[in-house]
A = this chain, B = another copy of it.
Amino acid sequence: MAFSPALTGLIDALRVLPGVGAKSAQRMAFHVLQREREGGRYLARSLEQALACIQHCRDCRMFTENELCDICANERRDPALVCVVESPADVMAIEQNTDFRGRYFVLLGRLSPIDGIGPAELGLDILRERLSRGLVTEVILATGATVEGEATAQYVADLARQHNAGVSRIAHGVPVGGELEYVDAGTLSQAFSGRRPI
């Protein structure tokens, strides 16, 4: 005996979501059917709507319903500064916590040849096109402090230099409020080699 076809289908479909395995999918399906039918309909509608209208911003690859995202469409954001990040979530984090007033470029990933993710998959031809307009004076690299993130930063830095743009990398070191003894070895070593005169 197995679940009915519609229920089996729903459990199977929920596994599309990242981090959801067979057990969680089953729990989610039961929860929606039992207690959240209205919420389930809302989710189905939201998914359909988002998939129908959300695309990538023409200039920065951020998710948006329009041709340009709110930031690229905002004349008051400085087009001379471009911050390169891995994901849309990084844009949100920077917007909420810094006073950066330039623009962004969202890679939607990082270089990972083993997974078939090369410069084309990261939309670097779009960034090259933007750089070639000659307006960008500084590219700020804010990719993750991982091996792939560093490799990606290196690649983008070379690209920026080819177009005579300045390149900077956000600082890596001891987190603010962090106790030295609890900081991991890589971060501490980075903090020492990256020390600056004050």
Contact = CB atoms under 8 A, between A and B. Distances in A.
A161 to B, nearest CB: 29
A64 B4 contact: yes
A190 B65 CA distance: 60
Contacts of A88: 3, 30
Contacts of A50: 6-7, 9-10, 29, 32-33, 40
Interface stretch (A14-22, A138-146, A164-172, A173-181): A14-22
A88 B36 CA distance: 16
Q: Which of A24, A46, A66, A95 lies at the interface centre, i.e. has the most chain B CB atoms within 10 A of its CB?
A: A46
Q: Is the interface of A mostly helix, strand, loop or mixed?
A: helix
A99 B93 CA distance: 55
A69 B46 CA distance: 31
Given A16-B32, A47-B32, A5 B41 contact: no
Interface of A: 1-7, 9-10, 12-14, 16-19, 24, 26-34, 36-37, 39-51, 53-54, 63-66, 69-71, 87-89, 92, 95, 108
